[in-house]
Structure 1
Amino acid sequence: MKNPAPKSDQTTVVTHVSDATLRNFMGYHMKRAFNVVQADLARTLKPFDLRMLTYTALVLIVDNPGMRQSQLADAMDIERPNLVVIIDELERRELIVRDRVPNDRRAYALKVTLAGRHLYEKTVAAVTAHEAVLLDGIDDATRVAVIAAMKKIEKSQGKG
C-alpha cells in the first residue's frame, strides 16, 4: 500500500514557475526558440492557407523538380504515409502534379504547377520578411554561429 502524501497545514501557492534547471540545457532553449519561430511562421503562412509542413513540401518540390515522393519524405524526415496527406493537399489545390516515373510504375515524380510556382514566390518572400523581423537585432556573425552549431548537432545524430 502506498504511503499517502504528507498533510500540510499550509497550502503552498506558486506565484512564479521557475525553469532554472531546464535553462541549463541547450535543447530547452532550442525548443523555446522554435516555439516562437513556429508560431510566427504559422501566422505568416495562414493567409496563404499553408502550414509549415505543406510550405516545406512545396519549397522542396519547386527546388527539386521531378523528385520522387520517397525522396521528399526523406528530405522532410517524415514517414511516407504522413507525406501522402501533404501531397494530396498540394495536389488538390492544384499546386503540384504527380507524374508516373516511366521506368518505375510504382514511383511518382513531383512537379510544381504554375499556380504552385506563384504561391512559392509569394510565400518565400513572406517567410523571408518574417525571418528578417523575427531575427532583427541578431548580427550576421551570431546567425552564422547559431546555424553552424545547429548543423553540428544535426550531423551528430546517431552518434550517442
Structure 2
Amino acid sequence: MPSDVPNSAVTSRATDRPGDTSPFAVGLLLRRAHWRAAAVMTEALRPLGIELRHFAVLIVLADRGATMQRDLAVATGTDKAGVMRVVDDLERKGLAVRKAVPGDRRAKAVEITPEGIELFDAAHVAATPMAERLVARLGSDETEKLTDLLTRFADSTDGDW
C-alpha cells in the first residue's frame, strides 16, 4: 500500500464474492462471467473449426455487411494485426473475402461469404443449448434483464471513464 494512504482508507479488499462492496467487484465479476461464457462458446465453436475470435468477426460481418478491416478492429476490440490474422484465417477457410474499396486503392473491406453465413447459422444452432445451460440458473425475466443491463453497461458512451 502506498505510504500516503492511511490504513483506515481501505474499507474492503476486492473479491468476486457475492455482496462484495469493493470498487473492483463489478469488474471482477464481469471478468469471471466472461471466462465462463467464453468457455461455453469455445466449446460450441470447436466442432465447426473456428475460434471465438473468428466468430466475433463473423458476427460483425453478418450484421453490417462488408466492413473495413480497421472498423473490424474497433468493433471486436482487437488490434489491427490481430484482425488481419483472423481475416487471413477466415479467407483460408472460405468464410470471408477481402475486396477492394472503390476510390481507395489501399483500403480493403471484408465480406462474409455464403459459406461463412452457413457456418454462422450452424454456430447459432450449436451454441443455443449451451447458452441455455449458461443461464439456466436465471429465470427468463432475469436473463432478459441481465442482457439489457450488460448491453447498457458495454455500450455506455458517457465518456466519464
Moved over 3 A (4+): none
Percent same amino acid at aligned positions? Answer: 24
Count of aligned residue pairs for this structure pair? 141
- Hey, what does 1:143 align to over in structure 2? 143
Mark the structure with the bigger radius of gyration.
Answer: 1
Give structure 2 stretches of 5+ with no counterpart.
Answer: 1-12
Task: Out of 92-101 and 70-79, give the one that drifted further.
Answer: 70-79
Deviation for aligned residue 1:89: 0.3
Alpha carbons of 1:107 and 1:156: their partners in 2 closer, same or farther (altered >3 Å)?
Answer: closer
Instruction: Give 1:110 shift.
Output: 1.4
Match in the other structure for 2:160: 159
The aligned residue for residue 101 of structure 1 is 101
Quote the Cα distance in structure 1 between the aligned partners of 2:55 and 2:158. 25
Structure 1 unaligned blocks of 5 or more: 1-19
> How big is the shift at 1:157?
6.8
Q: Which amino acid aligns with 2:71?
A: Q
Please list, as runs of the form range in 1=range in 2, the aligned pairs for 1:9-158 lying within 5 A after superposition: 21-22=14-15, 23=17, 24=20, 25-154=25-154, 155=156, 158=159
TM-score by length of 1: 0.79
What is the CA–CA distance in structure 1 between the aligned matches of 2:135 and 2:31, rounded to whole Å?
A: 16
Aligned-residue offset at 1:156: 5.8
With the length of structure 2 as denominator, give the TM-score of the two structures. Answer: 0.78
RMSD: 1.9
Query: Aligned letter for 1:159?
Result: D
